[in-house]
Amino acid sequence: MADQIPLYPVRSAAAAAAASQRRAAYYSAAGPGPGADRRGRYQLEDESAHLDEMPLMMSEEGFENDESDYHTLPRARLTRRKRGLEWFVCGGWKFLCTSCCDWLINVCQRKKELKARTVWLGCPEKCEEKHPRNSIKNQKYNVFTFIPGGFVLAVTIAREAIDEFRRFQRDKEMNSQLYSKLTVRGKVQVKSSDIQVGDLIIVEKNQRIPSDMVFLRTSEKAGSCFIRTDQLDGETDWKLKVAVSCTQRLPALGDLFSISAYVYAQKPQLDIHSFEGTFTREDSDPPIHESLSIENTLWASTIVASGTVIGVVIYTGKETRSVMNTSNPKNKVGLLDLELNQLTKALFLALVVLSVVMVTLQGFAGPWYRNLFRFLLLFSYIIPISLRVNLDMGKAAYGWMIMKDENIPGTVVRTSTIPEELGRLVYLLTDKTGTLTQNEMVFKRLHLGTVSYGTDTMDEIQSHVFNSYLQVALVRWTESVGLTLVSRDLASMQLKTPSGQVLTYCILQMFPFTSESKRMGIIVRDESTAEITFYMKGADVAMSTIVQYNDWLEEECGNMAREGLRTLVVAKRTLTEEQYQDFESRYSQAKLSIHDRTLKVAAVVESLEREMELLCLTGVEDQLQADVRPTLEMLRNAGIKIWMLTGDKLETATCIAKSSHLVSRTQDIHIFRPVTNRGEAHLELNAFRRKHDCALVISGDSLEVCLRYYEHELVELACQCPAVVCCRCSPTQKAHIVTLLRQHTRKRTCAIGDGGNDVSMIQAADCGIGIEGKEGKQASLAADFSITQFRHIGRLLMVHGRNSYKRSAALGQFVMHRGLIISTMQAVFSSVFYFASVPLYQGFLMVGYATIYTMFPVFSLVLDQDVKPEMAILYPELYKDLTKGRSLSFKTFLIWVLISIYQGGILMYGALVLFEAEFVHVVAISFTALILTELLMVALTIRTWHWLMVVAEFLSLGCYVASLAFLNEYFGIGRVSFGAFLDVAFITTVTFLWKVSAITVVSCLPLYVLKYLKRKLSPPSYSKLSS
């Protein structure tokens, strides 16, 4: 793929060599001592930078054979250290200034250092340091942000204040949730935001866990509970959590205060899949020490799925895992606003230049600087001050239209500043679980090696739909065929056969699923036969090397995967009593290890995973949301590239990518092999580079390694893929990918998700969309737009995004035209009268011109549309034109500038030429022609008429005619005190009417002719559809 793209590392060889020289010079100058040792360490690190000089298209053999070349970098030259005044003059002063500035910046931006902590049970006052409040804060501003900056900005400030107040209300709702806190005097109710480190909190079933806690007790007899983590990691399977055995064994709940115990917890960190700590009870002899791991924790934003739990709070507020994995909300500014800002800067430059030219043509006579400021004020209407107000009102109108659209019910606009972004998107980054899928499983196929059962050959397998994870779907299906799970706890389980016999099994060991092993297992003893059996199930890629040789597993896995099914391989191994006892002793030893505990435990378990007997292969379909396939097809036809970012397994993500047609059936898929270092990433990128037109599937770990060394190259290659799937992504990785796309491509990105793990991604994107579904409201509340189903995104982008962008582009340019044309008339007027800095119109007329005379027709452009909504959805290819930004560009801006200069010149010169005899009425004449021209220009710009547009045109015209009759003192030349009043009888004469009409026709008719010719000779893409 894209052979023309050279793959270079992030750091150039020259830069690396220069850095090595600087370090060598510094540490050698330090003389003997610690500095010398440090120099050796840096030297070893930088010698590996020889990789930078290697071409990335090296073969694997070459890469292996050239290891000796890594240590051939030239030594850095050692320089003599300058001292005293010589050092200060030769650059030391720069060093001192830079150091002082860096010190000031560090002092201002210094963050609180995160530390490990000792937490006393039920005694928050014993905490040695202050911890953050356990409150959620999604607000972007504080009170001081909304101090008004001026009348023109009042609308913008009010809109932002309303949005911020809504965010405040949502946060207040979450922070006000009540929880039971266990104290010496019993249970008390406490708000979520008032929970402190060290509190003992009781959480009921189906209640959200408010802060990070260590699991102490549960109402379940087994001493364990299940929690739902879909809001945290996107996975829908329930996680088993185990209470600390020392506290679980206590007779009563109140006994937690009769013991002296504390928890040592590691410092707060991002990783949601690991935890290291210890539980210590001091009042026993000897003291009890119990190691804590991830299975003893209850992270915030997860849901208790079974029983009632009691935990001790160890992290609160911004130190919780969920908040640390959430990026801070940023103030989003639309691309259209940035483009209009650039055009406004150009207009300001034109204002200054025009004023200087007028003063220059005066010959700098008299107090020229005073005249310069007068001209700056006279031509200040070049700057479209009312543009901000018009656009903000337009954005509010677009948001109202979106929320009132009956075709996308339940849609909410939470950020009203960026509706135009919906019409400029190039990349759509979507979550999988709950966004593309419904979290519903249907058991589809069972293969036993010699025979395969499907929905068409086995009556019992009939659409068993369950709203939970895969294991429940399988258990429910076994019940339907006669094998019932009677009971299950941590120590035993009972099964009932079709004949009514109850089989009892003692659970000896359990091995939970991990992303590294991709499998889970259990060792049970049959109570009736005392037979010990090790059962294991997992992904086919993990199980294929564990099971005994067979000739059907790989083929059947491929067949099911092509059907979009999630496959699961089940195997077993019978153990003797001696084999199990040997395993148990080694397993217990590994679990007590302080260092590398995880690796040692995994190694012991792997010793059992050999020559297992293959039992069966199952296929389960994860139900897609309604109309996902046609929606994705529509987005692709619109030129939007779709990336799927999920925390789920690689195999599951690949299956969903195929079944949703994110990746077409005929399209090749390149699965990026796991890489752990720079060399492996180097080789795998070469392999990927040779592929053409294939979808990319990459895991989060491999992505992290590649971005560390070859960030630019990976993003460049991935952007050329028709689809990209990133699996096993953490919330921060999702946000990082979005940020990389924005920085490298400079295109507009949109992120859509439904869980708490998608919040960072949603906030990092230019436009964030949340789905309010089974995973809760967290993503919906943090997003810019909230929808109820994924398929609604099609209409949201194709119709509302398109209309918002094109309407705002027309509105913005017309407001600028309105200021340019009157400034042109002022310039012509001043030029005719020897460059005098005299205003043409009085203040009331200038205010009326921008408000009651033209505001309604101009603002009615927010109702305009080039094609009907049905056509925009039927032909999504029309959306591609929007991403090119042709509706608002420097080209269209210059066209409007030329139109303004032409019309302003015609109106002013026409008024002066035709009304030379009645020169006292030149204000009424030119202003009347100006108003008529503006109304006709609005009509020229409109593509589809709305009845409100007609009302706005006639309302504005009526207001102007009334002001001619009743406010005639403002239409005279000079001051009212001079007696220059408008003769009402004069404006009713035929002469006045035909001459005003003539000037207006000359200013507008050529533009109508040009528009007609352009539509005939070079029609826009939508014209054929609208006709």
Strands 641-645 and 425-430: parallel
Question: Does residue 577 contact residue 631 with C-beta atoms inside 8 Å?
Answer: no
Question: Does residue 216 contact residue 247 with C-beta atoms inside 8 Å?
Answer: yes
Assigned token pair, 45:
């690190």
Angle at 540 between CA 534 and CA 542, to 5 degrees: 65
How many CB atoms within 10 Å of residue 244? 21
Give the C-alpha separation, 297 to 265, whole Å. 11
Which string of b and e fits 421-443 if b means at least 16 CB within 10 Å? bbbbbbbbbbbbbbbbbbbbbbb
Q: Is 68 exposed, middle or buried (0-12, 13-18, 19+ CB in 10 A)?
A: exposed
Question: Does residue 316 contact residue 133 with C-beta atoms inside 8 Å?
Answer: yes
Dihedral through CA 799, CA 803, CA 804, CA 807, nearest 10? 180
Q: Which region, left, alpha or beta, applies to residue 959 given φ > 0 means left and ψ of -120 to 50 means alpha?
A: alpha
- Looking at the DSSP bridge assignments, the partners of residue 612 are 547
Angle at 765 between CA 764 and CA 766, to 5 degrees: 125
| Nearest partner of 239 among 226, 251, 248, 250, judged by Cα | 226
Element (H, E) at 628: helix 628-637
Angle at 14 between CA 8 and CA 19, to 5 degrees: 115
Which string of b and e fits 617-636 if b means at least 16 CB within 10 Å? bbbbbbebbeebbebbbbbb
The sheet carrying 641-645 orders its strands as 412-413, 785-787, 767-771, 748-753, 425-430, 641-645, 723-727, 694-699, 668-671
- DSSP-assigned letter for residue 1018: S
Give the C-alpha separation, 911 to 459, whole Å. 89
Catalytic residue among 163, 212, 431, 540: 431
Give the C-alpha separation, 388 to 383, whole Å. 11
CA–CA distance from 50 to each of 408, 708, 816, 823, 913 (Å)?
Answer: 57, 16, 56, 63, 79
**Upstream peptide bond of 74 is cis (omega within 30 degrees of 0):** no
Assigned token pair, 315:
């992290």
Residue 338: which residues within 8 A CB-CB, separation 6 or more? none
Q: Is the dihedral of CA 43, 49, 51, 54 positive or negative?
A: negative
How many CB atoms within 10 Å of residue 951? 13
Element (H, E) at 511: strand 502-511
The one-letter amino acid at 415: T
User: Could you confirm whether 431 is annotated as catalytic?
Assistant: yes
Which string of b and e fits 672-705 if b means at least 16 CB within 10 Å? beebeebbbbbbbbbebbebeebbbbbbbbbbeb
Catalytic residue set: 431
